[in-house]
Structure 1
Amino acid sequence: MKKLAVAAVITVMAVGAFTGCSGSGADIGRDAALEAALNDAGVSESDTSRLKVSEDSDDGRKIYEISFDANQTEYDYEIQASDGSILSAETEQIQNAGTADNGTQNSADQGQTTAQDSSQADSGTSQSQQNSQTAEPAVSIDEATRIALDRVEGAAESDIRIELDRDDGRMMYEGDIIYNQIEYDFKIDANTGEVVEWSEERA
């Protein structure tokens, strides 16, 4: 009986030691996870902006969520922490603020043309639509960008995403800045330039 008991204790200790060893090697670390994502994207870290690496859990597995911009493309990765395998990879083309702004202007111009064309049928309605579409915010998107960037020392235009939107009938610039592993979300009043919402999230 003593021999059996000793054997059982040795077995338990061996399993514990093995589990401890395998557990200690179950995380490749942030740097290795980032390297796996960068290698897959074919870019170097120095060529990226808006870089963010955070940890999460998926079905009990530890994963690294990695996002960055490079070559006018936004990359989002999920990397398995245990072996560095890529669980998901998504890319999206980035539109410059100027391009997006021009697109909005073109859309507004088209809307104005449509309103003018239909004015013969209902001049009152078309005039109302035209006035609504031609309303310009007092603060330009460039000014709003500068207001936001001035709050994050060292951040550049490549670190920010911003767009004009309506919030409860109020024109707002909404966006985020990702710089030094911190994500800043904001809303700026498009008529006054007041920062009405500001939050920070560290990776």
Structure 2
Amino acid sequence: MMKKYMAAALVSIMVLGAFTGCGIGGGKDIGKDAALEAALNDAGVKEEDTTRLKVSEDRDDGRKTYEIQFDVNGKEYEYEIDASDGGILSVDTEMIPNSAAQNNTQDKNAAGNAGSGGSQTGQTQDGTGDAVQNSSNVAISMEEAMQIALERVPGATARDVKIELDFDDGQYKYEGDIIHEQREYDFEIDANTGTVLEWSEERR
């Protein structure tokens, strides 16, 4: 008799385990590492070549997904990965207007023009690629503004920064963000005084 009770209990445990394994309302989760690998493989890049890497969890119509963002060679990638099977639900890529490589090239060109008698404009670009401003109109350079922001994030470098000069409410200011070690920092800096106007931090 005892054996029958034990057998019944064992069957109940196995059935319960099967339902739990099937994940009623739960489902299989490949994990952040596998989701990141799927995105990197699709982009054809290695993790060590990326900057501003950010992996976060999300839910879309009850389905768990991973949102993955990273920069490589002046291009920004954004992926949405299905957490259950690693399928790519969406991918978006765009050139970064003010990548570090582009800024260095612009600085060298500007310096060359100044040395040959030309004027150094030091123009930056907004999200549409249009020139926003002549650097002679502001007291703080983009590089100086970048350093002001980086001083607040130990370990971060210029490769982790996205920044642009904007004119809003009659005031020139640098707007941008830093992504470092899965944290995103958004900032606004007065382009004439170097004062940090806004600073926020978001854990992803």
Q: TM-score, normalised by structure 2?
A: 0.75
Q: One-letter code of the match for 2:123?
A: N
Tell me which structure has the larger Cα radius of gyration: 1
CA–CA separation in structure 2 for the residues paired with 1:138 and 1:45 = 37
Check the 8 A contact 2:123/2:134 in 1, yes or no: no
The secondary structure found in structure 2 opposite 1:102 is: coil
Please state how far the C-alpha of 1:65 moved relative to its aligned partner.
Answer: 0.3
Does residue 96 of the first structure (1) align with residue 117 of the second (2)? no
Task: Flag the 1:133–1:200 CA change in 2: closer, same or farther, 3 A.
Answer: closer
Check the 8 A contact 2:53/2:179 in 1, yes or no: yes
Task: Flag the 1:189–1:14 CA change in 2: closer, same or farther, 3 A.
Answer: same
The secondary structure found in structure 1 opposite 2:53 is: strand
Q: Which residue of 1 aligns with 2:4?
A: none
Mapping of residues 10-159 of structure 1, within 5 Å: 16-23=16-23, 26-96=28-98, 98=103, 99=106, 102=123, 136-159=137-160
Structure 1, unpaired ranges of 5+: 1-8, 110-131
Check the 8 A contact 1:33/1:84 in 2, yes or no: yes
Structure 2, unpaired ranges of 5+: 1-8, 108-121
Give the number of aligned pairs: 171
Task: Flag the 1:195–1:160 CA change in 2: closer, same or farther, 3 A.
Answer: same
Task: Flag the 1:134–1:56 CA change in 2: closer, same or farther, 3 A.
Answer: closer
C-alpha offsets along residues 16-73 of structure 1, whole Å, 9 cap, x if unaligned?
4333112276100000000000110111110000000000000000000000001221
The secondary structure found in structure 2 opposite 1:198 is: strand
Deviating more after overlay: 150-159 vs 56-65: 150-159
CA RMSD of aligned residues (A): 2.8
The secondary structure found in structure 1 opposite 2:137 is: coil
The secondary structure found in structure 1 opposite 2:193 is: coil
CA–CA separation in structure 1 for the residues paired with 2:123 and 2:11 = 71
Q: One-letter code of the match for 2:43?
A: A
Q: TM-score, normalised by structure 1?
A: 0.75
Q: Which residue of 2 aligns with 1:172?
A: 173
